[in-house]
Amino acid sequence: MKLGKKDIRFITYGALASFGTYFCMYAFRKPFTVATYENLSFIGIDFKIVLIISQVIGYMLSKFIGIKLISELKPKNRLPYLLVMIILAELSLILFGFSVAPYNILFIFLNGLSLGMIWGVVFSYLEGRKLTEILGVILCSSFILSSGIVKSVGLLVMKHLNVSEFLMPAITGALFLLPFAGFAFMLDRMPPPTLEDKVQREERLPMTRKDRRKVIANFFFPIVILVFFYICLTAMRDFRDNFSREIWDEVGYQGNTSIYTLSEIPVAIIVLLSIGMFAFIKSNYKAFLSYHYLLIAGSLLVGLSTFLFQLSVIGPALWMVLVGLGLYVCYVPFNCIFFDRMIATFHIKGNAGFLIYIADAFGYLGSMAVLLYKNFGQGSISSLEFFTQGTYLISGIGLAVAILSLFYFKNRAKKASPVQDEPNLTNTYEQLI
């Protein structure tokens, strides 16, 4: 695929609009996790863990609701959804800041409930295009970078504005409210998919209940095992994200506010470049299979880097970067382009948002389960030790699932013959125009 000037202009505009929108969203979601809320607990559970669980429950419920709403979403409703959800998220943070603990836990739950569908709305602007890989991976790099950056902003707000840990999230969110609205309006002005996009990547349509059931029935086995792997990925990625301060403190980086951002920059750049190159694979079938090889590589990297860290062959900073890279190389495709190529490969009637939200809903259920297990089942071990053990588990599961899925889809492809269908796409496009 060659990129012309028009394509480059479209990528620049679409990337800026989508990246900016989702980047700003993180300012409403993650700043509270940089606070420690020391000496506070609720029913015997560390208060920070309760807050994280509350937000994850809200976020998870929103994902389950989104399985229906995002799959049925019409273009005219996208911008109103974005604006209403972000306003509700900020109001929740304000009420959290001015309410008394532990009753303010409710408002963190509402915050998660408000934010859970924003990803699906933003990605609905990008899916089903010949440039979806490039736009999607730039969008995904936003949540790699944004979490560390907004945590740094949250720490600066507490230090320089001298506000409490409870008011800090609302103030941090308020700083990003107008930028979010500006980027959302930009996003809404993106042109719809072209005829060429529809021919190459399948037209994306709102789904009915019948459409959803048909997809599940036809691809039940791979969906189950891939969602299971994604559950584990989400749990480990969220644990690394939510307890990054504790992990960095344990490996000797206490008080270093820049490490949260600096450690994620190389991860974002490498993920952006490596996955973005898949856009140049025109064959949907070949690109889809290649994503499985990427999952295998990422799973190996997570386990191998931890092994080298424990042998003191690599230092803690490089270890955190390599584990983050392995996790995100596996995690990012599931959030957009893996299912986007799956739909195009097997000519599925519907949209990627449906499959993404199935994975996300159960993914955050897994994240909550890990938090509860860490607090009640493994409360005596440190965050660092728990995270280290988890990297080996995710590595083994990832390898097994990726290999099983790869063989399944190869066999499925022989029956459906998507490879033979690929060369006809250009001819079909030429006939249509």
272, 137 contact by CB (below 8 A):
yes
Reported as half-sphere exposure (CB side, CA atoms, 13 A), residue 157 has a value of 25
pLDDT at position 137: 82
CA distance to 129, 300, 318, per residue, from 297 (Å):
26, 5, 17
pLDDT > 70 in the chain, percent: 93
Helix%, strand%, coil% for the chain, nearest 5: 80, 0, 20
In a domain, 117, yes or no: yes
Does the pLDDT value for residue 433 go beyond 70?
no
In a domain, 8, yes or no: no
Domain that holds residue 93: 19-432
86, 177 contact by CB (below 8 A):
yes
In a domain, 178, yes or no: yes
DSSP designation for 257: T
In a domain, 5, yes or no: no
- The answer for residues whose C-beta is within 8 angstroms of residue 18's C-beta and 6 or more apart is 122, 123, 125, 126, 135, 138, 139, 142, 183, 187
pLDDT at position 13: 95
- Calculate mean pLDDT across residues 383-408: 93
- The answer for residues whose C-beta is within 8 angstroms of residue 312's C-beta and 6 or more apart is none
Q: What is the mean pLDDT of the chain?
A: 87
In a domain, 193, yes or no: yes
In a domain, 6, yes or no: no
Does the pLDDT value for residue 197 go beyond 90?
no
pLDDT at position 257: 63
Choice among 3-17, 109-123, 264-278 with the minimum mean pLDDT = 264-278
Task: For residue range 232-265, list pLDDT tens digits in order.
Answer: 998 888 888 777 778 888 887 776 767 766 777 8
Choice among 66-80, 261-275, 395-409 with the minimum mean pLDDT = 261-275
pLDDT at position 24: 94
Does the pLDDT value for residue 417 go beyond 90?
no
pLDDT at position 246: 80
The CATH number of whichever domain residue 26 belongs to comes to 1.20.1250.20
pLDDT at position 84: 96
The pLDDT-based confidence of 378 (bands split at 50, 70, 90) is low
Task: Output the CA angle 296-299-300, nearest 5 degrees.
Answer: 85
In a domain, 353, yes or no: yes
The pLDDT-based confidence of 432 (bands split at 50, 70, 90) is very low
The pLDDT-based confidence of 426 (bands split at 50, 70, 90) is very low
CA-only gyration radius of the chain, Å? 21
Q: How far apart are CA 325 and CA 319, in angstroms?
A: 10
CA distance to 72, 81, 289, 312, 367, per residue, from 341 (Å):
20, 26, 9, 40, 26
pLDDT at position 204: 87
Tokens of 333: 């495709």
pLDDT at position 349: 87
Task: For residue range 291-317, list pLDDT tens digits in order.
Answer: 999 999 999 999 999 999 999 899 888
The pLDDT-based confidence of 30 (bands split at 50, 70, 90) is confident
Choice among 221-230, 338-347, 402-411 with the minimum mean pLDDT = 338-347
Does the pLDDT value for residue 67 go beyond 80?
yes
pLDDT at position 97: 92
Choice among 92-101, 225-234, 416-425 with the minimum mean pLDDT = 416-425
Q: What is the pTM of this model?
A: 0.79
Number of domains in the chain: 1
